[in-house]
Structure 1
Amino acid sequence: MKIATWNVNSLKVRLPHVLDWLATHQPDALGLQEIKCEDAGFPAEALAEVGYRAVFDGQKTYNGVAILSRSEATDVVRGIPGFADEQKRVIAATIDGVRVVCGYFPNGQAVGSEKFEYKLRWLEALTAWLKDEIAAHPKLALVGDYNIAPDERDAHPDWSDEIHVSEPERAAFYRIEALGLNDAFRLFVQPEQSFSWWDYRMGAFRRNYGLRIDHVLLTPTLAEACTACTIDKAPRKLERPSDHAPVLVDLAL
């Protein structure tokens, strides 16, 4: 089984890239973030033509999440239950016996800002809900754009901004891991300075001035079945790319 995550930064703009990537890699499930389209404008027909069903929770101009799958998605949940939020950031579904939780974690803007405080509240609510989800689903994958680089290896050595690498953000990431989740990427030896996001400005991608903020966390059952986790930089090299690269895990299921 293959599960992937990709912040596409506008599904309308990046749809040709997504369709090509699906054809090449054929994941069983792909979590998308920042789809930036309302439900009425979601390209379900185009995805169906290449064999993918979709569940989604869209929002005009901002945010929005979706899960694409070849099999039917069941037990769909939109949003964090009990956490009032106008921003469309979470969708969960069960696909072929695996619970896939797809999240577009808040950016936070700047340490100490109101948006940063919202980020921490959001992370706290997500963690509390995930505890119950994991108890109910031993096979669970938490995929998405976390907007957190968990440790020093996950940020370019010259990264100078506090956001994404601050102590409160990293502590929140570790609390999620402490629920019993494993960072799939770190299950394997990886090249140094492996990143999944690069700013559009200042030639960041060419310079590899980036962060690893897109993650797949797995419950122990799935971690034991994981045979590979890779960041696919190829789509970032295309014309008009997303600023994020897809992350793909292979599971021997």
Structure 2
Amino acid sequence: MEPEAAGTLRLMIWNINSLVPTVRNFILKYGSFRGFFEEHSVQIACLQETKMLDDKLTKDLVCLEGYESFWATSREKKGYSGVTTYASTAYSPVKAEADCLGDGESDLDREGRVVLTDHMAFVLVNVYAPNAGERPERPRKDFKCRFLTALKAKCDSLRAKGREVLIVGDLNVAASQRDVHPKFSYEALYSEEENQAMHALLGEYTDVWRHRHPQDTSTYTVWDEKTSARAFNEGLRIDYALCTPGLLAKVVSCEVVQTPPKWSDHAAMVLELRDISPIAAHAPCALSSSRMKRFNDRGQPSVATMFGRKPASKRAAGLEAEQVPGASRKVSKQEGASAAAPESRTRPSATAPGQLDQPRLSAAKTTAPEEQQFQRATQPAQGLIWQP
């Protein structure tokens, strides 16, 4: 069978800040996980910070009708990092790799930070770069710089073979002061080594959003979720789509999407590419969700069972409590055990044109040490800084 004619490919890039509770919000608003992708007409979705363990993956997260998924999960910590790429059947990759910056056993390959998928027209690299750690020590700075350097080397090797490359995800570094709110100091945020590693990438791969919006100095992709920073748009732009010149010529648009603040501390990005041909039918590659035999078991748990079920009357009471300003949400014992942490405070949110409606119910999210970002500090003549 001949492949379909080339058309516009729509990709979403989003640090989802814990997959399971965010998917629960998708289900509440759109009726299903897949409904969220359909709402945004997404053929490929690249998600970061999924915080999933391999043995906790469930069929309803992994096997969406019309999509394949490809996972990298942390082997170091529970509820930490993780990336996944969902690809519609029409753009099913012919090859996929996870955690492939080293030899497979390198420390760079143990935290679930990279999924690489080959879509023939280009190679897609979905990335969640490490955080350097808390100041003043920043104990993971060297690891972060090694990671960014290895990422560039991997992509350079693909370019050397004549491939077009698209790098997407949370790189945990703003490109310049104009990607940081003026109240924060760019120089204080990142070390010289981090800047050098990031700018080495930017020197070879074009920052698509910045290329499309050269004068914009007030669009950000992450905000401090412990304060009202998002309501005042006091953020950073650290989520990217970087690409090779041949792919840049195919860019139709690249925009930041104002996803509900309660769903993640990051906003999503949507990238559109023209003249990308669907891929002819082929056998799924080894990493594909469709090759995961364990999901043929009908007894596999679901998102609902991971959270536990409440009687209808208690669920209704919980929803009513959410609708009363200042009311505390009632959490069942099952939900409390699953979340393993008290529910986060409700954050003030800004209403922006085109912003999605807020869900009435938001699940609790755990916060790993790496995600305890943006701790405020002061520095003479440099203003406030975050802890990215």
2:153 to 117, 128, 137: 128
- Distance of 2:56 and 2:94 partners within structure 1: 22
Residue 239 of structure 2 is aligned to residue 217 of structure 1: no
2:121 to 90, 97, 104: 97
The letter for the 2-side match of 1:81 is G
- Given that 1:44 and 1:54 are in contact with CA atoms closer than 8 Å, whether structure 2 keeps it comes out as no
The letter for the 2-side match of 1:99 is V
Residue 255 of structure 2 is aligned to residue 230 of structure 1: yes
For residue 72 of structure 2, what is the aligned residue in structure 1? Answer: 57
Which string of whole-angstrom CA distances, capped at 9 and with x for unpartnered residues, describes residues 31-75 of structure 1? 111111112333443564453210101233101111111032232
Residue 50 of structure 2 is aligned to residue 32 of structure 1: no
Which string of whole-angstrom CA distances, capped at 9 and with x for unpartnered residues, describes residues 146-171 of structure 1? 00100111000011476654432222
The letter for the 2-side match of 1:31 is C
- Given that 2:34 and 2:64 are in contact with CA atoms closer than 8 Å, whether structure 1 keeps it comes out as no
Distance 1:47 1:91, change over 3 A: closer
Distance 1:33 1:46, change over 3 A: closer
Distance 1:73 1:43, change over 3 A: farther
For residue 187 of structure 1, what is the aligned residue in structure 2? Answer: 211
For residue 265 of structure 2, what is the aligned residue in structure 1? Answer: 243
For residue 102 of structure 2, what is the aligned residue in structure 1? Answer: 81
Secondary structure, aligned partner of 1:31: strand
Alignment of structure 1 residues 137-156 onto 2, 5 Å: 138-156=163-181
Secondary structure, aligned partner of 2:12: strand
- Given that 1:23 and 1:50 are in contact with CA atoms closer than 8 Å, whether structure 2 keeps it comes out as no
Shift of 1:177: 2.3
Larger Rg over CA atoms:
2
After superposing the two structures, state which structure 1 stretch, 100-109 or 49-58, moved more: 49-58
For residue 45 of structure 1, what is the aligned residue in structure 2? Answer: 60
1:8 to 4, 16, 30: 16
- Given that 2:73 and 2:111 are in contact with CA atoms closer than 8 Å, whether structure 1 keeps it comes out as no
Secondary structure, aligned partner of 1:125: helix
- Distance of 1:52 and 1:26 partners within structure 2: 13
Structure 1 stretches lacking a partner, 5+ long: none
After superposing the two structures, state which structure 1 stretch, 192-201 or 170-179, moved more: 170-179
Shift of 1:139: 2.2
Structure 2 stretches lacking a partner, 5+ long: 1-8, 27-32, 276-388
Shift of 1:81: 3.0
- Distance of 2:222 and 2:260 partners within structure 1: 9
2:88 to 70, 77, 86: 70
- Given that 2:177 and 2:185 are in contact with CA atoms closer than 8 Å, whether structure 1 keeps it comes out as no
- Distance of 2:39 and 2:190 partners within structure 1: 33
Q: TM-score, normalised by structure 2?
A: 0.60
**Percent identity of paired positions between Structure 1 and Structure 2:** 27
The letter for the 2-side match of 1:172 is A
- Given that 1:57 and 1:78 are in contact with CA atoms closer than 8 Å, whether structure 2 keeps it comes out as yes
Residue 208 of structure 2 is aligned to residue 199 of structure 1: no
Shift of 1:182: 0.8
- Distance of 1:132 and 1:175 partners within structure 2: 15
- Distance of 2:194 and 2:85 partners within structure 1: 25
- Given that 2:13 and 2:168 are in contact with CA atoms closer than 8 Å, whether structure 1 keeps it comes out as yes
- Distance of 1:74 and 1:172 partners within structure 2: 30
Distance 1:44 1:53, change over 3 A: farther
